[in-house]
Amino acid sequence: MDPKNIIVVGASAGGFEALKTLVKALPSELPASIFIVWHMSPDVRGIMPQVLNRLNTLPASQAFDGEVIEEGRIYVAPPDRHLILEDGLVRVTRGPKENRFRPAIDPLFRSAAYHYGADAIGIILSGALDDGTSGLWTIKQRGGIAIVQDPRDAEVPSMPQNAIREVEVDHVVPLEAMGELLVGILDEKKNRPRVAVADDSNSRRLEMEIGIAAENNALELGVMDFGELTPYTCPECHGVLSALREGDMTRFRCHTGHAFTSDSLLASVTENIEDSLWSAIRGVDESIILLNHMGDHFAEANQPKLAAVFFRKAKEAQTRNELIRTVVMSHEQLSADSLRETSDAGGEDRAAEQQMSARSDH
């Protein structure tokens, strides 16, 4: 039987406890199918289903590719696999990473929006950066319902904050109120006729992006036909990135299929800068060792002038190495969230300075 209510949930840092709290508040007879993506390391064992089953609400299991969707069940994305939906079926794939993650939240949300439209409910829980914002925007655009955990209630508020900033969400609630909210939404939907998924100008691109997550060849799907070429290269494979527009948001995809939001791209680029600087330090260290080794060799061979040249060059390299070390020690890994926090703190500091100045004038 084709499922009537699809609930997709995305969580990252702080999401483990958030997911437990959410599922614990759900009734065991909830008339919906729930799909969860929780960011995790690819080499960890997927323990989330066992943890959720101890709550004795809805039965939870790790999703398997090709299984039929059933009502009243929870499907959890396995480690290092995307979880996406088709009409009545679950897909588990190893498509390209998105926002540096696999599983990623956005592919799941997009597939729910594409196949289930107004029957899709998207939920963003605690997490860093902004994975899930694009997918939640797509759910909202195609008639679904967007729910976000109240950032004040989230252990890590960045994902909820970014979703609220970019998407016209329907509900912002603390976790304790989310179960009751879902029951009310599903109860209200029972008496409404099902709405067919509306086609729009973004449907072809949406179908292409879901296909990429489903392991199809991004180039053959026509990924280069969408967006505008940029001067940026993919941090994963170094392919050229194209810019894709969604409302006020800009995202990026390379021709092999990796995808990034502006925030995740900034975080990746600045992280790679540090890696490159350490590689430079390693290379200079090796040149110093080799130059000194060769200097020792020529000194032992009674060629002091030639040995002195090698020792001098090793000392010059050491001076350059100290400069690179100074740079790497002062380097920051940046994200839009960290810069917003800096900006907010700066505003508070300026306000405090103004207050102090006003007091001194009196």
DSSP collapsed to 3 states, 257-293: CCEEEHHHHHHHHHHHHHHHHHHHHHHHHHHHHHHHH
Catalytic residue status for 12: yes
Query: Given the structure tokens 């107004």, which residue do they identify?
Result: 118
Banded model confidence at residue 199, pLDDT cuts 50, 70, 90? low
Q: Of 171, 189, 207, which marks where a domain is finished? A: 189
CATH number for position 160: 3.40.50.180
- Are 133 and 32 in the same domain? yes
Tell me the two tokens of residue 119.
């029957």
Check residues 71 and 2 and name the one with the higher pLDDT: 71
In a domain, residue 201? The reply is no
- Are 154 and 15 in the same domain? yes
Segments in the chain forming alpha helices (H): 15-24, 48-53, 105-116, 133-141, 158-166, 175-189, 203-213, 262-300, 304-330, 336-361
- Are 181 and 271 in the same domain? no
Over 90: is that where the pLDDT of 158 sits?
Answer: yes
In a domain, residue 243? The reply is no
- Are 117 and 17 in the same domain? yes
In a domain, residue 249? The reply is no
**Nearest CA among 173, 254, 172, 259 for reference residue 213:** 259
- Are 173 and 74 in the same domain? yes
Is 75:85 a contact under the CB 8 Å cutoff?
no
In a domain, residue 317? The reply is yes
In a domain, residue 254? The reply is no
Catalytic residue status for 150: no
- Are 182 and 269 in the same domain? no
Tell me the two tokens of residue 259.
């995808």
From residue 165, how far is each of 41, 122, 247, 249 by CA, in Å? 28, 16, 12, 10
Q: Across the chain, which distance is largest between two alpha carbons, in Å?
A: 97
Q: Which percentage of the chain shows pLDDT scores above 70? A: 92
Banded model confidence at residue 337, pLDDT cuts 50, 70, 90? confident
Identify the helix (H) or strand (E) that includes residue 34: strand 33-38
In a domain, residue 200? The reply is no
What is the number of domains present in the chain? Answer: 2
Mean pLDDT to the nearest integer, 4-30: 96
- Are 184 and 306 in the same domain? no
- Are 183 and 34 in the same domain? yes
Q: Of 161, 189, 217, which marks where a domain is finished? A: 189
Over 70: is that where the pLDDT of 201 sits?
Answer: no
Over 60: is that where the pLDDT of 246 sits?
Answer: yes
- Are 42 and 182 in the same domain? yes
pTM for this entry = 0.87
Catalytic residue among 33, 39, 111, 263: 39
**C-alpha to C-alpha distance for 33 and 85, rounded to whole angstroms:** 11
In a domain, residue 275? The reply is yes
Is 27:57 a contact under the CB 8 Å cutoff?
yes
Catalytic residue among 119, 130, 131, 263: 131
Mean pLDDT to the nearest integer, 168-187: 96
Check residues 276 and 333 and name the one with the higher pLDDT: 276
Least confident span in 2-16, 192-206, 347-361: 347-361
Banded model confidence at residue 351, pLDDT cuts 50, 70, 90? very low
Is 310:292 a contact under the CB 8 Å cutoff?
yes
- Which residue type occupies 204? R
Banded model confidence at residue 358, pLDDT cuts 50, 70, 90? very low
Task: Give tens-digit pLDDT for 72-87.
Answer: 999 999 999 999 999 9
- Are 178 and 42 in the same domain? yes
Distance of CA 254 to the CA centre of its chain: 16
Query: Given the structure tokens 């439209």, which residue do they identify?
Result: 117
Catalytic residue status for 39: yes
Check residues 148 and 341 and name the one with the higher pLDDT: 148
Task: Give tens-digit pLDDT for 292-321.
Answer: 999 999 999 999 999 999 999 999 999 999
Task: Give 291: exposed, middle or buried? Use CB within 10 Å, 0-12, 13-18, 19+.
Answer: buried
Query: Given the structure tokens 């292409």, which residue do they identify?
Result: 208
In a domain, residue 293? The reply is yes
Q: Of 132, 163, 189, which marks where a domain is finished? A: 189
21: domain range?
6-189
- Are 285 and 161 in the same domain? no
**Which letter does DSSP use for residue 215 in this model?**
T
Q: For position 303, what pLDDT does the model report? A: 96
Over 70: is that where the pLDDT of 203 sits?
Answer: yes
- Are 160 and 273 in the same domain? no
Query: Which residues contact residue 5 at a Cβ distance below 8 angstroms, ignoring those fewer than 6 apart?
Result: 31, 32, 33, 71, 119, 121, 186, 189
